[in-house]
Structure 1
Amino acid sequence: MTKPPTPTPPRLTRRRGPVSLKQRIVRRVLMIVPMAALVFLVGRMGWLDQAADKLTFSRTSWFDNTALVEHFRTIVTHNGMTSDSKDCLLFVLNGNDPPDATRIDVMEKHSGTCPGDRNTLPHLFTLRIDRIDQTAQTDWQSPGVFRPLPR
């Protein structure tokens, strides 16, 4: 008496052979290169700066001059108010203003890697900050006439 052959259970996955070292290296390179390009692109577009600013700037930061300057440095460079890089801008706070209302003069710096005549410090525009209401106005493109900051 012969036994009928037992059916083999169906496989859910395909059995692969061993992976060579060369295949592993190629797979990792194919993953790392696009990821590095994406990180570079995100950094160049300024999205990391904007994300960090959103995470770190809070309601109490309006009363901290350093945090306020860094916040407006990010805003000014990313909303098209200036084509200069963040490092080439100089923010000068007026020390005679009352603590709740501050004026910040934004100037173009010409030193280090920033291009231009080293003997000049051109005034770009002024920011008028109301710390209590947490609002900002600028005289960008219209000196002396203040309007809300462009978004």
Structure 2
Amino acid sequence: MSKKPILTTPRGPFKKRTLRQHILRRLALVLPISLLVIVLAKSGVLDTMADRYTFKPESWFEDTALTQHLRVLMTHNGMVHTPAKCLIFSLNGNDPPTASTIRVMEQHTGNCPGPKGETSELFTLRIDRLNKIIMSDQGSPGTFHPIP
């Protein structure tokens, strides 16, 4: 009868790793995840996901939440081609609480494209907060239509 030799080094998942193997395994995990997050951030998917998560039905009555939602909406549906940080929303303070008129303007300061120090009006939005309807006069000043 032969005896099995006693193993002195563990095998399988309990095998000791070298420092190089440890670093390579970490990089193999971290690099693809980092690249995925960068691609999602550049494409705007992360902004859209955050907007879907944070914009609630009661947010229609909060000006800050509504303007942030509009900022994401305008940049991702192709209404504006400027970066979201370059948009200014001017709310009319005399509007009733259930409906608002918002002027959308483009600023040209800092990292925003265009002639420095100027602000140009792009279009006007009418917001029906009760029915959750957004209308725009983009392309036809004074004539409002639903946004895409």
Same fold flag (TM > 0.5)? yes
CA displacement 1:3-51 (0-9 Å, x = unmatched): 699xxxxxxx957753211111111112211111111111111111111
Equivalence map 1:1-151=2 (5 Å) = 17-150=15-148
**Deviation per CA, 1:84-135, whole angstroms, max 9, x where unpaired?**
1111000000122222111111001011211222342111111100011111
Cα RMSD after superposing both structures: 2.1
Q: Distance in 2 between matches of 1:22 and 1:30?
A: 12
Unaligned stretches of 5+ residues in structure 1 = 6-12
One-letter code of the match for 1:40?
Answer: I
Identify if the C-alpha distance between structure 1 residues 18 and 106 changes in structure 2 by more than 3 Å, giving closer, same or farther: same
- Cα gap change, 1:123 to 1:19, in 2 (>3 Å): same
Q: Is the 8 A contact 2:109 2:118 kept in 1?
A: no
The two structures have a TM-score, normalised by structure 2, of 0.86
Whether contact under 8 Å (2:109, 2:117) holds in the other structure is: no
Aligned residues: 142
> CA 1:17 to 1:145, structure 2 compared with 1: closer, same or farther past 3 Å?
same
SS at match of 2:102: strand
2 CA distance for matches of 1:15 and 1:141?
A: 64
Larger Rg: 1
Consecutive unaligned residues of structure 2, counting only runs of 5 or more, are: 4-10
What amino acid is the match of 2:91? L
Go from structure 1 to structure 2 and tell me whether the alpha carbon gap of 1:25 and 1:75 turns closer, same or farther (over 3 Å shift): same
SS in 2 for 1:99: coil
